Amino acid sequence: MAPKEGSDVEQEEPNSEPGQKVFSLEILKIIKEAQQQHGLRHGDYQRYRGYCSRRLRRLRKVLKVPQGDKRHYRRRDVTALMVTDDKFLQIPLTLAERAWSYAMQLRQESNTEPRKKFHLVSRLRKAGAFAEQLQNLIDSINCNARTKLEAKAYVAYIKGSILFELQDWVLAMENFQNAQVVYENLAKALPEHEQIIYKARVDELAPNLRYCAYNIGDTTAIDDLMQMRGKLSGDLLSNLDSLITQRQENQASTEEIKWRGKSCGIAPPKAAALLMADSRLTSTLEKASGNQAKIDILEAHLIDCKDAIAAVREELKNDLKNKDADKAPQHLISYLQYIRLSRTLERNLILVKIAEESEKAKSQDIVRLYEAALHNLVEMSQLQDDESYLQEHDAKTKSYRAFRCFYLAKSLANLHRWRDAMALYHRSLQHVKDAMEHKSLLPDSLKNDLIKLESLIEGAQCAAHAHSVLEEGQEEDIGVNKQVKSKKMLSERLHEYLEDPALLTKQPNICKIPPPMQSIPCKPLFFDLAFNMIEFPDLSDKLQDQDKKGEKGGLAGLVKGFWGWGNK
């Protein structure tokens, strides 16, 4: 029986003898810490299985519970008589975790090798056997209430996983519910810092419960599963995606698909599953809790669209080898691309709503979102040449152009460019009028938004016109002052009078210091006249004496240097 809220799950059993040791094993805490530290944070089940094997070897060696010797193997299970320490209880728990991790590894590999599903079930059954062995061992010795409850929840979880793989939805749902109830009650009874892992396990069980309910016959459960996709991550999300896809492929009809009066042929399983999911997506979005949840659902759906288009294109390549291939697969690709583009457009419009509600969002960001929406409409219009189809998308294009022009005008108005803003307001109003001429082709929500936009444009136009009149003179003065400040100094405009506040600052723009250098012409005529008036003395006698001395010294030096004598 689950403990009541506020009770102490660590207390001894009332039937236990006084002085007898009470054993304890925090099962969920132990396995969660081991999983996060040894591979499961990244979905590596093989690494976690190796850790369990090494952990099991160390436990048996420390507790002296070997299974034979080096030559012979003899199985040796832990019994109640052996238990003298809490670590004895970890041996069957580690055995169960090793078998479970091997099963999860086989589940990942079974996507490409279907035969491994049989091995997967056998590993899960082995994990269930070890889990029951752990529960029987805990029941036969003196353990506290928390350990017994955790063992019960762990066994229910493993059994539910086995029955889930065997597609026994009723019994699987019962076991998952039992585990969920126990974990919820444990979370209520424990301190706040220990409640996190138990609440996380309760959240992990929710998708499996909804999937079992959906297979039993609850048609609303599929919408809940689609909403859960935005909240889950990692391996749990991939498992849920594979379950949803598998179920949709099983329920997909083999009837011929038509779009806008043309046959698309019989869709492949992935494409048929996508079309079935798309038909329910609108109701799922209406039940979503907020705009962010809607975006998460749409992004997951867009990924499925991409996979379905790739699958149909691969099949189309094989059909092209046949000369008698028809145009139905190509039309099916156009239909799937239309779904992808329309859902992308829907996501962009939700992002616009989020930006409009946010105070920090800028008009430029909203303009970019509307440009992306217009790009989607252009691509959608190229998928069909039907006249009514083109008219519908032309009306939507004019509508979203009106919104884009409006927010572009708002961004210019924030920059005080009033004349440009008024021109864009006028163009936005013209787009609204053009779109309302074909209002029968527009959805009701878009028509209501256009009516609101028209009233907003009229008010914004009047405000922009008033601001432009008030700031007309100020803009000219600001422009002149900027020109004076950037180019002309006070010394260059002494003949003009302007109030320049920059002259009162610490660095006034008055003149250049030092002043620039200026070139001046030289007067060579003065030096020519002076040269003509100078009289130089006669030095011819001194020049002749020097020539004679130079000749004598040169001949004697030559003779001395040739014969090597005459110098010391």
Which of 301, 331, 361 delimits the end of a domain? 361
Say if 393 falls within a structural domain: yes
Asked if 399 and 352 count as a contact pair (C-beta separation under 8 A), the reply is no
Q: In degrees rounded to 5, what are phi and psi of residue 382?
A: -85, -5
Tens-digit pLDDT profile for the chain (568 aa)? 444 444 444 444 444 555 578 889 999 999 999 999 998 888 899 999 999 999 999 999 999 988 888 788 888 888 888 888 889 999 999 999 999 999 999 988 887 788 888 999 999 999 999 999 999 999 999 898 889 999 999 999 999 999 999 988 889 999 999 999 999 988 888 888 888 899 889 888 888 888 888 778 765 555 555 555 544 444 444 555 555 555 555 544 456 677 777 777 777 777 777 787 777 788 778 877 788 888 888 888 888 888 888 888 877 776 655 544 556 677 788 888 888 888 889 898 888 888 888 877 888 888 899 999 899 888 888 888 788 888 888 889 999 999 999 999 998 888 888 888 899 999 999 999 988 888 888 888 888 888 899 889 888 888 888 888 887 655 444 444 444 444 678 888 888 777 777 888 888 888 888 888 888 777 665 555 666 677 878 888 887 766 666 555 554 555 555 555 555 4
Measured distance between the N- and C-terminal CA atoms of the chain, rounded to whole angstroms = 130
Q: Are residues 116 and 47 in the same domain?
A: yes
d(CA 526, CA 303): 95
* DSSP character string of 151-165: HHHHHHHHHHHHHHH
The pLDDT score that the predictor gives to residue 28 is: 92
Per DSSP, what are the bridge partners of residue 143?
23
Residue 179, sorted as left (phi over 0), alpha (psi -120 to 50) or beta, turns out to be alpha
Q: Are residues 237 and 285 in the same domain?
A: yes
The pLDDT score that the predictor gives to residue 326 is: 56
* DSSP character string of 385-403: --HHHHHHHHHHHHHHHHH
Asked if 34 and 155 count as a contact pair (C-beta separation under 8 A), the reply is no
d(CA 27, CA 24): 9
Helix orientation angle between 90-109 and 27-37, rounded to the nearest 10 degrees: 50
d(CA 444, CA 465): 32
d(CA 296, CA 316): 31
Indicate the helix (H) or strand (E) that contains 263. Answer: strand 262-265
Q: Are residues 232 and 269 in the same domain?
A: yes
Contacts of 51 (CB under 8 A, 6+ apart): 34, 38, 39
Q: Are residues 304 and 357 in the same domain?
A: yes
Q: Are residues 372 and 357 in the same domain?
A: no
Q: Are residues 267 and 119 in the same domain?
A: no
Q: Are residues 408 and 309 in the same domain?
A: no
d(CA 33, CA 37): 6
The pLDDT score that the predictor gives to residue 289 is: 78
d(CA 164, CA 100): 14
The pLDDT score that the predictor gives to residue 321 is: 55
Give SS3 for 438: coil
d(CA 29, CA 560): 113
Which of 361, 394, 424 delimits the end of a domain? 361
Per DSSP, what are the bridge partners of residue 73?
68
Q: Are residues 110 and 173 in the same domain?
A: yes
Overall size of the chain counted in residues? 568
- Between the alpha carbon of residue 269 and those of residues 252, 294, 429, the distances in Å are 7, 26, 47
The pLDDT score that the predictor gives to residue 245 is: 54
Say if 2 falls within a structural domain: no
- CA 47 to chain centroid, in Å, comes to 27
Please tell me the chain's helix, strand, coil percentages from 3-state DSSP, rounded to the nearest 5: 70, 0, 25
Give SS3 for 262: strand
Q: Are residues 259 and 390 in the same domain?
A: no
CA angle, 26 then 30 then 31, to 5°: 120
Say if 488 falls within a structural domain: no
d(CA 179, CA 154): 7
d(CA 565, CA 228): 118
Say if 514 falls within a structural domain: no
Number of domains in the chain: 3
The pLDDT score that the predictor gives to residue 360 is: 78
Say if 278 falls within a structural domain: yes
Which of 162, 196, 218 delimits the end of a domain? 218
Q: Nearest to residue 161, comparing CAs of 194, 205, 109? A: 205
Say if 343 falls within a structural domain: yes
Q: Are residues 120 and 196 in the same domain?
A: yes
Say if 289 falls within a structural domain: yes
Q: Are residues 287 and 376 in the same domain?
A: no
Domain limits at 427? Answer: 362-469
Say if 139 falls within a structural domain: yes
Contacts of 383 (CB under 8 A, 6+ apart): 334, 337, 338, 341
In CATH, what number is assigned to the domain containing residue 124?
1.10.3450.40
d(CA 9, CA 3): 7
Q: Are residues 177 and 223 in the same domain?
A: no
